[in-house]
């Protein structure tokens, strides 16, 4: 079953690659084995048409560039052919170390769909004559992964179609539906983001792929927008999540031998008194509070107050054990 179908498809590809003229469906039926039927018999003809439609869809799904057209203005029925130049992978010559890099890269994906795409891509390179050593390593191994939203979003970027998706932020109780014209997908320090024009906010926005809830829907027509050329997507994301420059200085006292996480980030150490640079009072307060009595803020007063404010509600909660009762 599958074998005769594959045979027919291989013969169809060979036939359409070998022709310069466009071949009509009727010419193909008369030529390629497996399509033979009586065109005068309506039922047979309809069965052929269904079969041929399905085969064309299969070829396109596989990435075979099926051209449709006519050779002259007098031809009334469109025909088909496959342009050799569009079909064939261009010449690729990889030096052994380059081939090793590609072979390694193809193994890095921790994402089923993309891992499969990477290995079928690699098989095509092998078919182009590239020899890949499956054992090659480069001494470091990044783990490459992506969330399920990656595939539909990259397709939308490719087709320049708008997307609609539900997005969950920690601050909101329910995911909110967002509409975006996606310009690109970027990975910054191990996290994936999509950047584009937010149709509701009417402004450039980026979204974390890990916060997508549910499927990504492609909406509207292809080529619906033109991404701006001058926006560096990675810089945009890096800037959106950048911490402000640490321009302020705090002075804290550490208990001897404790508060090591703070000590090693200090920019100046004088015995057990250390100085830290910071930008945001609340985030430093949150970090310092974690060390309990091991870290005491001496200066500035606003940081000291922020730490005390955080301690009070915890201290007033139930609990009578002394810290030493918990072993670590």
Partner 1 sequence: MSAATDRLGRVLNLMPYLLARPGIRIADAADDLGVTAAELRDDLQLLWVCGLPGYGPGDLIDMSLDGDTVTITYDAGIDRPLRLTPDEGLALMVALRTLAETPGLAHRDAVERALAKIESAAGEAADTAGRVAVRGPADSDRTAEVRGALDRGRALRIRYYTAGRDVSTERVVDPMRLLTVGAWSYLEAWCRRAEAVRLFRLDRIDQLTELAEPSAPPPQAQPADLRGGTFRPTADQPQVTLLVDRGARWITEYYPCEQVEPQPDGRWRVRLRASDLTWARRLVLGLGADAEVVGPPELASAVAADARAALAAYGID
- Window of 6-14, 66-74, 214-222, 269-277 that interacts with partner 1 by CB under 8 A: 6-14
CB of 24 to partner 1, least distance (A): 14
Site for partner 1 in 251-280 (CB under 8 A): 258-261, 264
Site for partner 1 in 64-93 (CB under 8 A): 64-65, 84, 86-93
Query: How far is Cα 287 from Cα 297, in angstroms, rounded to an integer?
Result: 12
Q: Is 2 in the site for partner 1 (CB under 8 A)?
A: yes
Q: Is 211 in the site for partner 1 (CB under 8 A)?
A: yes
Question: Counting beta carbons within 10 angstroms of the beta carbon of residue 250, is it exposed (0 to 12), middle (13 to 18) or buried (19 or more)?
Answer: buried
83: closest CA among 6, 7, 13?
Answer: 13
Instruction: Check residue 145 and give left, alpha or beta (phi > 0: left; psi -120 to 50: alpha).
Output: beta
- Window of 62-70, 71-79, 197-205, 212-220 that interacts with partner 1 by CB under 8 A: 62-70
Return the residue of 49, 68, 210, 279 that touches partner 1, per CB under 8 A: 210
Fill in the per-residue mask, 106 to 135: x = in contact with partner 1 (CB under 8 A), - = not in contact.
Answer: x-xxx--xxx-xxxxxxxxxxxxx------
Q: Is 308 in the site for partner 1 (CB under 8 A)?
A: yes
Q: Is 42 in the site for partner 1 (CB under 8 A)?
A: no
Largest Cα span, the chain:
99
Q: How many residues bind partner 1 (CB under 8 A)?
A: 126
Q: Of 111 and 275, which has the nearer Cβ to partner 1? A: 111
Are the C-beta atoms of 149 and 168 separated by less than 8 Å?
no
Q: Of 28 and 48, which has the nearer Cβ to partner 1? A: 28
DSSP string, 39-53: TTSHHHHHHHHHHHH
Retrieve residue 234's tokens: 């990675």
Residue owning tokens 């000291």: 304
Q: Of 73 and 315, which has the nearer Cβ to partner 1? A: 315
Query: How far is Cα 16 from Cα 21, in angstroms, rounded to an integer?
Result: 9
Q: Of 74 and 98, which has the nearer Cβ to partner 1? A: 98
- Window of 36-44, 73-81, 212-220, 310-318 that interacts with partner 1 by CB under 8 A: 310-318
Q: Say which DSSP state 30 is in.
A: H
Q: Is 26 in the site for partner 1 (CB under 8 A)?
A: no
163: closest CA among 198, 192, 190?
Answer: 198
Beta bridge partners of 193: 186, 208
Site for partner 1 in 139-198 (CB under 8 A): 139-144, 151, 154-155, 157-158, 170-171, 173, 183-191
**CA 81 vs CA 19, 50, 75: distances in Å:** 7, 19, 15
Run of H or E residues at 277: strand 273-278
Q: Of 41 and 222, which has the nearer Cβ to partner 1? A: 222
- Window of 13-21, 35-43, 198-206, 242-250 that interacts with partner 1 by CB under 8 A: 13-21
């Amino acid at each position: 079953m599958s074998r005769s179908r594959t045979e027919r498809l291989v013969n169809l590809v060979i036939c359409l690659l070998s022709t310069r003229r466009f071949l009509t469906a009727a010419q193909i039926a008369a030529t390629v084995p497996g399509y033979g039927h009586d065109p005068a018999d309506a039922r047979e003809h309809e069965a052929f048409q269904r079969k041929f439609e399905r085969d064309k869809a299969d070829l396109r799904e596989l990435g075979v560039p099926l051209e449709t057209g006519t050779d002259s203005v007098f031809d009334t029925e469109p025909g088909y052919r496959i342009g050799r130049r569009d079909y064939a992978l261009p010449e690729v010559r990889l030096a052994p170390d380059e081939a090793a890099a590609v072979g390694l890269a193809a193994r890095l994906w921790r994402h089923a769909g993309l891992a499969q795409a990477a290995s079928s891509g690699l098989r095509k390179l092998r078919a182009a004559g590239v020899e890949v050593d499956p054992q090659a390593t480069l001494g470091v191994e990044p783990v490459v992964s992506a969330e399920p939203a990656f595939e539909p979003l990259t397709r939308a970027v490719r087709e320049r179609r708008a997307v609609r998706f539900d997005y969950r932020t920690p601050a909101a109780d329910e995911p909110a539906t967002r509409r975006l014209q996606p310009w690109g997908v970027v990975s910054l320090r191990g996290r994936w983001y999509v950047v584009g024009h937010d149709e509701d906010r009417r402004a450039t926005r980026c979204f974390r792929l890990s916060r997508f809830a549910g499927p990504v829907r492609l909406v509207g027509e292809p080529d619906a927008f033109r991404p701006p050329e001058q926006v560096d997507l990675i810089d945009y994301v890096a800037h959106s999540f950048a911490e402000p420059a640490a321009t302020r200085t705090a002075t804290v006292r550490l208990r001897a031998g404790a508060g090591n996480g703070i000590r090693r980030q200090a920019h100046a150490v004088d015995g057990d008194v250390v100085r830290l640079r910071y930008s945001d009072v609340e985030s430093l307060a949150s970090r310092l509070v974690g060390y309990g009595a091991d870290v005491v803020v001496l200066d500035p007063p606003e940081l000291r107050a922020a730490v005390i404010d955080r301690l009070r509600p915890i201290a007033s909660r139930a609990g009578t054990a002394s810290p030493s009762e918990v072993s670590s």
